[in-house]
Amino acid sequence: MKDELDKRLQLMTISVIIPVYNASATLFHCLESLDRQTYRNLELLLVDDCSTDESLRILMSYVEQQSNPDFTIRILRHEENRGVAAARNTALERATGDYIYYVDADDSIEPDTLECLVNEAEEHGWDITGHEWYLTFESNERYMEQPAYTTPAKALRNMMCGIMRWNLWLFLVRRSLYVENKIRFIEGMNMGEDMMVMIKLFVCAKKVGIIHIPFYHYRQGNLSSLTKTYSQKHIEQVAGNVYEVEKYIHSSLYADVLPSCISFLKLNIKLPLLITDDKSRYEQWLECFPEANRYIMQNKTLPLRTRLLQWMAVKRCFRGLQFYYRIVFKFIYGIIYK
């Protein structure tokens, strides 16, 4: 059995997709982590989305200096900036590997990441293989766990209920899932695009699993990077991806299994609008997916404090929201995330 697995692994190629836009400050560190991978059958798809800094020069230099015969490296260029969704689609169209994995240009992975993931995927026959991660700051890291799942339905519930992250870089996925089900990102919809694609992939998957090991280092500069500002355009893009998910699930075999979870997803996706002391953001929260608000206290998988935060929002208790933000995020998280 082990000999058969070893033979299969010798033939398996992983396509690693790295979208790049003005990432010269962190790009070398990202590429270095790929160079150190113990699994060598890699196809690196580096998509320069019309960067205006030194990113393209760094990519060209990396290719010129690359001497590893096991690596296939392709630099794909956009003549105009089209956004991360289009960049990932460009790479998917050119990918030839058995598996797809994503790395963002400002992040890095452990040296044994791809070897461990493909070993587990091939041994168990998983279509999607998940793992855990580190939230990386300037002076420390925090180990971020993912909940267990053994079926696509469980993984979908975890993601939609808000207890499991859907970031693309948390999963190794068989490329056949993209090809056979025609799964692509929606160009121009660059917020929530990872959520939309990962939910579609799990809907189509047969066998899935997770390794409880943190392989990925997700770089964050400081506390402010955890509380991003969302423009109306961003909110519209997220909403577009959420409604695409809703339509996809309604036409899938999970149509009768996940109806309430769609409302939980809507509440989860707009939760960042409450992580602020800006009252205008609270008003945006009220206007976004109002049909989901009646489900606030029903998602028992979320901590009670999160449900109370949403309850205060729907009751317009804005002072309570401001107090929570200033105590929890500005004071407590301000100490942790340095």
Helix (H) or strand (E) holding 27, with range, is helix 27-35
State both tokens at 60. 């060209």
Q: Are residues 196 and 256 in the same domain?
A: no
Q: Are residues 176 and 277 in the same domain?
A: no
Rounded CA gap, 212 and 79, in Å? 40
**Beta bridge pairs of residue 297:** none
Cβ atoms 272, 134 nearer than 8 A: no
Rounded CA gap, 10 and 12, in Å? 6
Q: Of the residues 221, 251, 275, which one is the last residue of a structural domain? A: 221
What torsion, rounded to 10 degrees, do the Cα atoms 7, 13, 14, 18 define? 160
Q: Are residues 180 and 210 in the same domain?
A: yes
Digits of tens for pLDDT over the chain (338 positions)?
666 666 666 678 999 999 999 999 999 999 999 999 999 999 999 999 999 999 999 999 999 988 777 789 999 999 999 999 999 999 999 999 999 999 999 999 999 999 999 999 999 999 999 999 999 887 788 999 999 999 999 999 999 999 999 999 999 999 999 999 999 999 999 999 999 999 999 999 999 999 999 999 999 864 444 445 567 888 899 999 999 999 999 999 999 988 889 999 999 999 999 988 899 999 999 999 999 999 999 999 999 999 999 999 999 999 999 988 887 766 555 555 55
Q: Are residues 206 and 245 in the same domain?
A: no
Helices (H), 205-299: 232-250, 259-270, 279-287
Cβ atoms 144, 133 nearer than 8 A: yes
Q: Are residues 69 and 177 in the same domain?
A: yes
The residue segments making up the domain with residue 188 are 2-221
Q: Are residues 62 and 178 in the same domain?
A: yes
The model carries a pTM of 0.93
Q: Are residues 237 and 320 in the same domain?
A: yes
Rounded CA gap, 144 and 132, in Å? 6
Q: Are residues 308 and 210 in the same domain?
A: no
What pLDDT digit, counting tens, does each position of 286-319 carry? 999 999 999 999 999 999 999 999 999 999 999 9
Q: Are residues 251 and 215 in the same domain?
A: no
Q: Are residues 256 and 114 in the same domain?
A: no
Number of Cβ within a 10 Å radius of residue 231: 10
Q: Of the residues 221, 251, 270, which one is the last residue of a structural domain? A: 221
Supply the pLDDT for residue 232. 81
What pLDDT digit, counting tens, does each position of 168-217 carry? 999 999 999 999 999 999 999 999 999 999 999 999 999 999 999 999 99
What is the tally of structural domains in the chain? Answer: 2
Q: Are residues 54 and 112 in the same domain?
A: yes
Residue 173: closest CA among 213, 209, 216, 214: 209
Q: Are residues 278 and 302 in the same domain?
A: yes
Q: Of the residues 193, 221, 249, which one is the last residue of a structural domain? A: 221
